[in-house]
Structure 1
Amino acid sequence: MASSDGRGRIRGRERAALVLLCAAVFLDSMDLSLMGVALPAIGSDLSLPESTLQWLMSGYAVAYGGFLLLGGRMADLFGRRRMFLVSLAVFAAASLVGGLLSAGWPLVATRVVKGVAAALTAPAALSLITTTFAEGPRRNRALGVYALAGATGYSAGLIASGVLTEVNWRLVFFLPVPIALLVLVTAPLVLPAGNTPNRLGGGGFDLAGAAAVTGGVLLLVYALTETDWRAGVVAVGLLGVFVAVERRQRLPLVPLGVFRVRRTAAANLAALAWACATIGWQFVAVLYLQQELGYTALATGLGIVPMGLAIVVTANLTGRLISRWGLGRVAAAGMLVQAAGILLFLRAGSSGDYLTVLLPALLVHGIGNGLSFPSLNIAAVGGLPDDQQGLASGLVTSAVQIGAGIGVAALAAVMSLGDSALAGYRLAFLAAGSFSLIGALIAHFGLRAPATAPAPAPASTDA
């Protein structure tokens, strides 16, 4: 495989591998936002109630968040490239079947299957990147591109959903299929073989831990989505069982010792706060634009384009900034800038002007987003050795997904506290900004310390 130069530039086959891996996370992120604009058209065409339509969104998120930790561990145990290819093939097949169905719950089932497949794909892809690129400038640059692909995928999903729904909502399901097939055909030619599957010896796979954590996270996201606190109590109980099981396992699904690495623990907590802020804000902002300002679905997607461009430009520079100023400073600064962008939406009223009020807020938010998300991903995987990179990737991605569920649920609850719809939006923007400020504090104090795990090579680091 071709090497990179001393400045961390990626060349040759490594670049092709990075493009393919980023295409997969682009698909996973895009699928999170593709459904939002299309739901009314699907409900009208298939005569589906709102309760079923809701699960077209939450079914994907619940499965994605619930299976991420299992996906990260499976990547380490059974081979990263193998898991990447198999799960991406399932993702493509479920997308194709979903576009052909005309019944509600079978359609929901395809979304759940896609969520599980995405949960297996994302950790495998991220751990392939972190084991291909040595810690330091090369890895920082690669992870910056990876984070950029995820952010761009979410923004692209909003735009594509509006455009495709104008033609036929089934195109929203079909869109990921050709992209996934292209990656599947090309990937075996350029992706590194990755790790040799771990044979596990006589200890077996941690099925009890996997069942407890997956069930606990699934029920937690369900409780937040449906505001079912009984499910929440059961979820907490299952997560407690998971901790007890992991303490006794010889080969645990999640070695609890990883959370004693200060940078790993802080990065995951900050990532959870980041998702509460930015995904929760996006949920509220889309409602604000459509319900308060009267934007169409297509106009909403196009209006968010400048934020996506700001993320792209900033994320491309983040690796250099980390090399100069360190992870803690860049991540904390990004969270502060993101908070400023969110809080600028407090200026918007019932007829907020786009050029003078909304556009500046979107640009500031995008800059903060582009600084913070790559930094948190780098910090989360940088503290653990190569044989735990699937675990590290699964943890940080799971933190983001769980944070997204918490943020959306919390901000929806806050919106209901306002005396009017506009007052509710403002309270929600204030809460989202507060989440981001909390993340900035965690990043500032938690990411200043160097990773305690041994570095794989004596190269210059980013911390």
Structure 2
Amino acid sequence: MSTSPPLTVESARMGSGAAGMLTVLCGAIFLEGVDAAMLNIALPSIRAELGLTTTMLSAVVSAYVLAYAGLMLLGGRVADMYGKRKVFLTALTVFLLFSGFGGFATEGWMLLAARFVTGAAAAFMTPAGLALINGNFPEGPQRNRAVLIYAGTASAGFSLGLVIGGLLSAIGWRWVFFAPVIFSAILLLAGMKLILEKKEDAAQRQKFDIAGAVTLTGAMLLAAYTLTRMEHAANDLTWTIAAAGASMVLWFAFALIERKSRAPLIRLGIFRSAVLVQSNLGAMLFTGAFFGFQFVVSLYLQELLGWSSFETSLALIVIGMDAILAPLLTPLLVERFGNGRVVLGGFAFAIAGYALFLGMGLDWTYAAMLPSMVLLGLAFSLGYGPLTIIATEGIAEDEQGLASGLVNTSFQFGAALGLSAVSAVGTLALGDGDSPSERLEALRTALMVPVGATLIGMVIMGFGRGRCADASCRLQAG
């Protein structure tokens, strides 16, 4: 049972300074979501002007994911060690500069470099932002509402990014890079004034675990590379296996280094928290299922029903309802039922949404798809924010960046894993078939991956629910 005080207008009300800081942090996570989604819509225009090969185009997309997922843990820990405000503002500056660099790209390597560095900047900015919220809002109703607003904004950024990307691409694909420059410049100026870090919570510079940082970064980058290559593993099996093996070796080396280090980059004892591990696994499966579903829906609408990319993005925008519901409805449900039960409700809605879409046909109208979109909007409203709260609640202040990095890494790795798994299953199911009915059946088979992943996630999050519905039962990780 949650130990938070009752949710009242006074207990959840934020001061003007806190609200201003939250606005900047939400703006940054919205920017990250929009930036990631917009590029996908602009890819055909980029290929047409720069003459990029399919391999280079895929690499441009993967570069961002690779850096973002591969450096997130390091980014979170660096925020703990060197100051969350400093890391956040520095990362936002780098994001601004290299997004602009991408807009001036004339060759593929320039886009590749721009996307990798902006992904790396986001990997430092995102956990620092969430850690700033956890460090500046008192645990309970205020923090819950702040995190839910933050999570809803992140989801809305991705949903709206699909539409914004379509509009900007119609003007010119370079605006997909220039628009974030303008927005991030405004956020940077506001952040320098509004973002505060309590003096007693400010990070103290300490000896940096260089060996741990090198092995962790290598292990994460290789793991992310393996996931982004899984769907092409049949054509590149040697490299995929080699990357996975090298990642495992580096993970083992990292664990040995951290056990012996006097100032470890990551204190391994944090993983003694059963709820932290449980919530991160849930986050990975929850996000992986959605990204896999989105991939299936995109192929279904565009390749089988003949919809345009813009029409497809509009079809998915209903899921963005969580931007409204998450800050308004979810805090009340969390206070009434606890984070754990609300998360289980989110998983249940997601399973229903994916299962309903299994009935897709060649003559389906949007009215037939709408119930799934609404159910998934409810799923994200109930699942995303409370999962984030569970994963970071009860963690010591000097490890908030690490906990934030962990859950965001889980979300990112889940996305990559979901996409790869759905793509691989769909390809195997299709075989040599190419007729519309055969392709439809292959997509139905691939859609079983999100259904199964969400069901497994629900079981994981429900395990020991009577004892661990909320982070108040978190095991001591000392």
Does TM, normalized by the shorter one, top 0.5? Answer: yes
1:367-416 alpha-carbon deviations (Å, 9 max, x no partner): 01110000100001103111111111011001111111111111110111
Return the letter of the residue paired with 2:469.
R
2:439 alignment counterpart: 421
Cα distance, 1:429 vs. partner? Answer: 1.4
3-state SS of paired residue (2:264): coil
Consecutive aligned runs of 4 or more in structure 1 exceeding 3 Å deviation: 4-7, 451-455
Measure how far apart 1:135 and its partner are: 0.9
**1:255 paired residue number:** 267
Aligned to 1:448: 469
Task: Describe the shift of the 1:453–1:431 C-alpha distance in structure 2 as closer, same or farther (beyond 3 A).
Answer: closer
Q: Which amino acid aligns with 2:117?
A: V
Aligned equivalents of 1:229, 1:359: Cα separation in 2: 41
Question: For 2:79 and 2:391, how far apart are their aligned partners in 1?
Answer: 17
Q: Give the CA RMSD over aligned residues.
A: 1.7
Are 2:278 and 1:266 aligned? Answer: yes
Structure 2: how far apart are the matches of 1:367 and 1:314? 9
Q: Which residue of 2 aligns with 1:197?
A: 203
Match of 1:157 in 2: 161
Partner of 2:324: 312
Q: What displacement does 1:199 show?
A: 2.4
Partner in structure 2 of residue 431 of structure 1: 449
**Is 1:409 the counterpart of 2:412 in the alignment?**
no
Tell me by how many angstroms 1:454 deviates.
7.8
Within the alignment, does 1:365 sit opposite 2:371 as a pair? Answer: no
**What is the distance in 2 between the residues matched to 1:441 and 1:279?**
20
CA distance in 2, matches of 1:30, 1:334: 23
1:339 to 333, 337, 351: 351
Change (3 A) 1:9 1:428: farther
Q: Which residue identity does 1:214 align to in structure 2?
A: T
Contact 2:203 2:398 in 1 (8 A): no
Question: How far apart are the structure 2 equivalents of 1:407 and 1:391?
Answer: 24
* Aligned pairs for 1:102-141 within 5 A: 102-141=106-145
**1:315: how far off?**
5.0
Q: How does 1:142-221 map to 2 (within 5 A)?
A: 142-194=146-198, 195-200=201-206, 204-221=207-224
Given that 1:318 and 1:371 are in contact with CA atoms closer than 8 Å, whether structure 2 keeps it comes out as: yes
Q: 1:240 — aligned with what?
A: 252
Higher deviation after alignment, 363-372 or 222-231: 222-231
Q: Quick one: structure 1 residues 315 and 443, their matched pair in 2 at CA, closer, same or farther if it must change by over 3 Å?
A: farther
**Contact 2:148/2:326, CA 8 A, preserved across alignment:** no
What is the letter of the counterpart of residue 323 of structure 1? Answer: E
Pair 73,32 (structure 1): closer, same or farther in 2 beyond 3 Å? same
Counterpart residue number, 2:17:
13
Q: Deviations over 1:339-361 (max 9, x none)?
A: 21112110111232101x21111
Partner of 1:461: none
Q: 2:126 corresponds to which letter in structure 1? A: A
Q: Offset of 1:231 from its aligned partner? A: 1.0
**Deviations for 1:86-120, whole angstroms, at most 9, x for unmatched residues?**
10010011111110111001111000000000000
CA distance in 1, matches of 2:406, 2:9: 31
CA-CA distance at 1:312 after TM superposition: 3.0
Cα distance in 2 for residues equivalent to 1:431 and 1:345: 13
Matches within 5 A, 1:283-294: 283-294=295-306
Give ranges in structure 2 of 5+ residues lacking alignment: 1-7, 234-239, 431-437
Tell me which moved more, 267-276 or 113-122: 267-276
Distance 1:258 1:12 in 2: 34
Tell whether the 8 Å contact from 1:59 to 1:112 is kept in structure 2 after alignment.
yes
Select the residue among 224, 227, 237 that pairs with 2:227: 224
1:224 CA drift (Å): 2.0
SS in 2 for 1:338: helix
Listed one character per residue, the Cα deviations across residues 307-352 of structure 1 (whole Å, up to 9, x for unaligned) are 1125532453112111110111111111111121112110111232
Report the Cα distance in structure 1 between the residues aligned to 2:323 and 2:138, rounded to whole angstroms.
Answer: 25
**Please, which moves more after superposition, 156-165 or 223-232?**
223-232
- Is the contact made by 1:261 and 1:451 (CA closer than 8 Å) also made in structure 2? no
Match of 1:370, as an amino acid?
S
* C-alpha distance in structure 1 between counterparts of 2:212 and 2:461, whole Å: 29
Moved more, 422-431 or 63-72: 422-431
Write the distance in 1 (CA, Å) between the matches of 2:135 and 2:428: 47
Is the 8 Å Cα contact of residues 262 and 451 (structure 1) preserved in structure 2? no
Asked whether the equivalents of residues 56 and 108 of structure 2 are also in contact (C-alpha less than 8 Å), the reply is yes
Structure 2 SS opposite 1:235: helix
How far off its partner does 1:5 sit?
5.4
Normalising by structure 1, what TM-score?
Answer: 0.93
Q: Shift of residue 230 of structure 1? A: 1.8
The CA deviation at 1:294 is: 1.1
How much has 1:417 moved relative to structure 2? 2.3
1:207 to partner: Cα distance? 1.6
Secondary structure of 2:12's counterpart equals coil
Aligned mates of 1:242, 1:53 — CA distance in 2: 33
For the pair 1:299 / 2:311, whether they are aligned, the reply is: yes
1:453 deviation in Å?
6.5
For the Cα contact (< 8 Å) 1:385–1:454, is it kept in 2?
no
Q: CA deviation at 1:271?
A: 0.7
Alpha-carbon offset, residue 24 of structure 1: 0.6
Separation of aligned partners in 2, 1:24 and 1:107: 22
Query: Which of 31, 45, 51 is the matching residue for 2:35?
Result: 31
Between the aligned partners of 1:328 and 1:314, the Cα distance in structure 2 is 15
Match of 2:54 in 1: 50
2:45 pairs, out of 33, 41, 47, with 41
SS at match of 1:151: helix
Structure 1 position 428, deviation (Å)? 1.7
